Amino acid sequence: MTHSALNIADFPVGTEIGARSLEISRADLIKYAGASGDFNPIHWNDRFAREVELPGVIAHGMFTMGAVVQLVTDWVGDPAAILSYGTRFTKPVPVADLDELPGAVVEVVGVVGAVDSDAGTVRIDLAVTLGGAKVLVKAQATVRLA
């Protein structure tokens, strides 16, 4: 469904746009490190991560942020319809070793948090949790609808 097929009147505040479970593996972190150039050892070395007082290897913040907003992109059907997106990182996302697939499961739920009919936009609020604990807060995307 493209964003032109979505009518703003059909999405009042409180409407859920979708939910999903994101399964994250160490392989995902390796691929992201290669694409982003972020080879910080906290994203691949358990010993190092624990030495800096982390629970073990953690997902890249930008990887988590990008994976989460995919729910909005899939809903609207056009990444260009997302006008802005931001969040605050509150807790790391530990990713267990490769023999324990998936290494982490992040839950994402998207809900319409605000509607601006004059601008033709909605704000999508994303609830992002790992094991029931919020890992991102104020994860919000402003989306232009028809």
Amino acid at residue number 11: F
User: What's the pTM?
Assistant: 0.91
The pLDDT tens digits of the residues spanning 34-70 come to 999 999 999 999 999 999 999 999 999 999 999 999 9
Per-residue pLDDT averaged across 104-122, rounded? 97
Contact 109, 136 (CB under 8 A): no
Supply the range of the domain harboring residue 71: 3-144
Q: DSSP readout, the chain?
A: --GGG--GGG--TT-EEEEEEEEE-HHHHHHHHHHH----GGGT-HHHHHHTT-SS-B--HHHHHHHHHHHHHHHHS-GGGEEEEEEEE-S--B---TTSSSSEEEEEEEEEEEEETTTTEEEEEEEEEETTEEEEEEEEEEEE--
Domain count, the chain: 1
CATH number at residue 132: 3.10.129.10
Percent of the chain with pLDDT over 90: 92
Asked whether the predicted pLDDT for residue 3 surpasses 70, the reply is no
